[in-house]
Amino acid sequence: MRRLRACLGAAAAVTLAATGTTALVAGSASGAGNALDNRWYAAAPYLMPLDNDPPDPAAIMDATGLKSFQLAFVLAPNGGGCTPTWGGTAPVSSDTAVKSVIDRIRAKGGDVSVSIGGYGGTKLGQACADPTATAAAYQQVITKYGLRAIDFDLEEPEYENSAAIRNEIGAARILQQNNPGLYVSVTTAGTADGTGWFGKQMLLEAKSQGFTPNNFSIMPFDGGFNGAASQTSALTKFNEVLQSTFGWDQATAYAHEGFSGMNGRSDTGEYFSQADFQTVLDYATSHHMDRFTFWSLNRDRQCTPADNGGRTSGTCSSVVQNSWDFAKYSVKFAGATPPSTTPTPTPTPTPPGASCKAAWSSAAVYTKDDEVSYGKHNWKAKWWTQNEVPGASQWGPWQDEGAC
């Protein structure tokens, strides 16, 4: 789902690893709220707090009963280095914007997990020198926000780099040891066979390091999937992969298996409806799987493909729905009952009559914060770009600013 050398904090982590001293426990870190049951962290849908028209998490909580959010994504700095940032641009060390979102969620009795990695950008496992340095960078995130849960989203191109995966898995193992009770999920690509060659190599790396997270989750979309039946088939195949890799029986493998879906239209044009989510939810609960999540809450609101120029959107699902309908499946997985009626949300529409910016040109060079119009929407550049069509991918360089 999503971007030289040693970290500044690596020396402290080396000392911890050498002496066996336990790092700051996530549950007692500054800013932490009341801990949730792990089932809530396992049910947390992804939310981009700084991009893709972030929705108000408090409104989602009121409408659905959701208590947990998977905030995405922590990456290495775009300019290089081994320090954590949000999206490659906003240093965690000086962050106030995401912390404000977390404080708002915790004030209503909820909590968050943070996801590292994703589909785009440079990952810390690629930028840091070794597992110890990588873990030190992630420990800064855990300590900053008082985290009790973290997600390692390991996918291409990072998971094609064996050194990077060794750093990520090693870092996850160190964090698990140094933060007792930390809920750790590892998310990777899904295929019809469960996961592909690189995903299986990642599992073998985990086995070689003696690392077992709370779950390994696959993303059965963007790979020629067609509805829930293809997804549950992939989950069954992945269970067999976990059994053969770790020597687990079927029940143990399911207890360490997770599902990470995509609501509505996927990046490759597949469609996953609410009925599909219900079918996969029934499969996950009947097999006592450990995790059920989806990408993303930013997309958990209605638009049609025509509204979005026939493209997959980062801010809506492209299927018929009420706002936050997909979040209710996460609530059910956590063992709670969503409200029977949905409160009327406070609308935040694009102001009427917003004028279109200058038309996008394939020949022009754009830098961060440049604005253009394309497909009757205004778009803002996230970084330097040339000849990349606005909206062609939600991971691309353009942020949708709404219709014009």
- What's the CATH number where 215 sits? 3.20.20.80
Closest to 62 in 3D by CA, of 334, 341, 320, 322: 341
Same domain, 116 and 226: yes
Amino acid at the residue 9:
G
- Domain presence at residue 346: no
Closest to 56 in 3D by CA, of 392, 346, 379: 346
Placement of tokens 């053969």 in the chain: 244
Please answer whether residues 131 and 17 qualify as being in contact, where contact means their C-beta atoms are separated by less than 8 angstroms: no
Where in the sequence numbering do the catalytic residues fall?
A: 155
Same domain, 74 and 159: yes
- Domain presence at residue 314: yes
Omega before 157 cis (within 30°)?
A: yes
Closest to 148 in 3D by CA, of 13, 25, 266: 25
DSSP summary character for residue 237: H
Whole-number Å distance between alpha carbons of 295 and 302: 15
- Domain presence at residue 2: no
Placement of tokens 């870190």 in the chain: 29
User: For the packed helices 131-145 and 10-19, what is the interaxial angle rounded to 10 degrees?
Assistant: 100
Alpha helices in 224-289 (DSSP H): 228-246, 250-255, 274-286
- Domain presence at residue 106: yes
Q: SS3 for 70?
A: strand
Listing DSSP states for 131-200 in one string gives: HHHHHHHHHHHHHHHT-SEEEEE--TTGGG-HHHHHHHHHHHHHHHHHSTT-EEEEEEE-BTTBS-HHHH
- Domain presence at residue 167: yes
Domain that holds residue 390: 365-403
Omega before 296 cis (within 30°)?
A: yes
Same domain, 399 and 271: no
Cα–Cα distances (Å) from 376 to 309, 314, 354, 403, in that order, read 9, 16, 11, 6
Whole-number Å distance between alpha carbons of 150 and 152: 7
Number of domains in the chain: 2
Please answer whether residues 254 and 288 qualify as being in contact, where contact means their C-beta atoms are separated by less than 8 angstroms: yes
Same domain, 25 and 103: yes
Q: Which residues pair with 22 in a beta bridge?
A: none
Same domain, 232 and 369: no
Backbone angles phi, psi at 197, to 5 degrees: -60, -45
Question: Of 333, 354, 385, which one is at a domain's C-terminal end?
Answer: 333
Same domain, 173 and 70: yes
Whole-number Å distance between alpha carbons of 246 and 244: 6
**What pLDDT is stored for residue 138 in this prediction?**
98
DSSP summary character for residue 49: S
pLDDT in tens, the chain (404 residues): 432 222 323 333 333 333 333 344 444 444 555 789 999 999 999 999 999 999 999 999 999 999 999 999 999 999 999 999 999 999 999 999 999 999 999 999 999 999 999 998 999 999 999 999 999 999 999 999 999 999 999 998 899 999 999 999 999 999 999 999 999 999 999 999 999 999 999 999 999 999 999 999 999 999 899 999 999 999 999 999 999 999 999 999 999 999 999 999 999 999 999 999 999 999 999 999 999 999 999 999 999 776 777 789 999 999 999 999 999 999 999 999 999 864 444 343 344 446 888 988 888 888 888 888 887 778 888 878 888 888 776 667 888 777 77
**What pLDDT is stored for residue 267 in this prediction?**
93
Same domain, 323 and 211: yes
Upper half-sphere CA count for residue 95 (Cβ side, 13 Å): 26
- Domain presence at residue 1: no
Same domain, 247 and 377: no
Same domain, 187 and 311: yes
Question: Of 333, 351, 374, which one is at a domain's C-terminal end?
Answer: 333
**What pLDDT is stored for residue 270 in this prediction?**
96
- Domain presence at residue 353: no
CATH number for the domain harbouring residue 386: 2.10.10
Closest to 109 in 3D by CA, of 167, 34, 32: 34
- Domain presence at residue 354: no
Same domain, 247 and 385: no
Question: Of 315, 333, 351, which one is at a domain's C-terminal end?
Answer: 333
Closest to 291 in 3D by CA, of 184, 189, 198, 194: 184
Amino acid at the residue 327:
A
Cα 195 to chain centroid distance, Å, stands at 18
Whole-number Å distance between alpha carbons of 3 and 78: 8
Same domain, 173 and 267: yes
Whole-number Å distance between alpha carbons of 312 and 375: 13
Placement of tokens 């779950």 in the chain: 215
Please answer whether residues 179 and 142 qualify as being in contact, where contact means their C-beta atoms are separated by less than 8 angstroms: yes
Cα–Cα distances (Å) from 157 to 111, 123, 125, 160, in that order, read 30, 10, 12, 6
**What pLDDT is stored for residue 341 in this prediction?**
63
Same domain, 369 and 260: no
Whole-number Å distance between alpha carbons of 1 and 17: 31
Tokens for 18, please give them: 């050498």
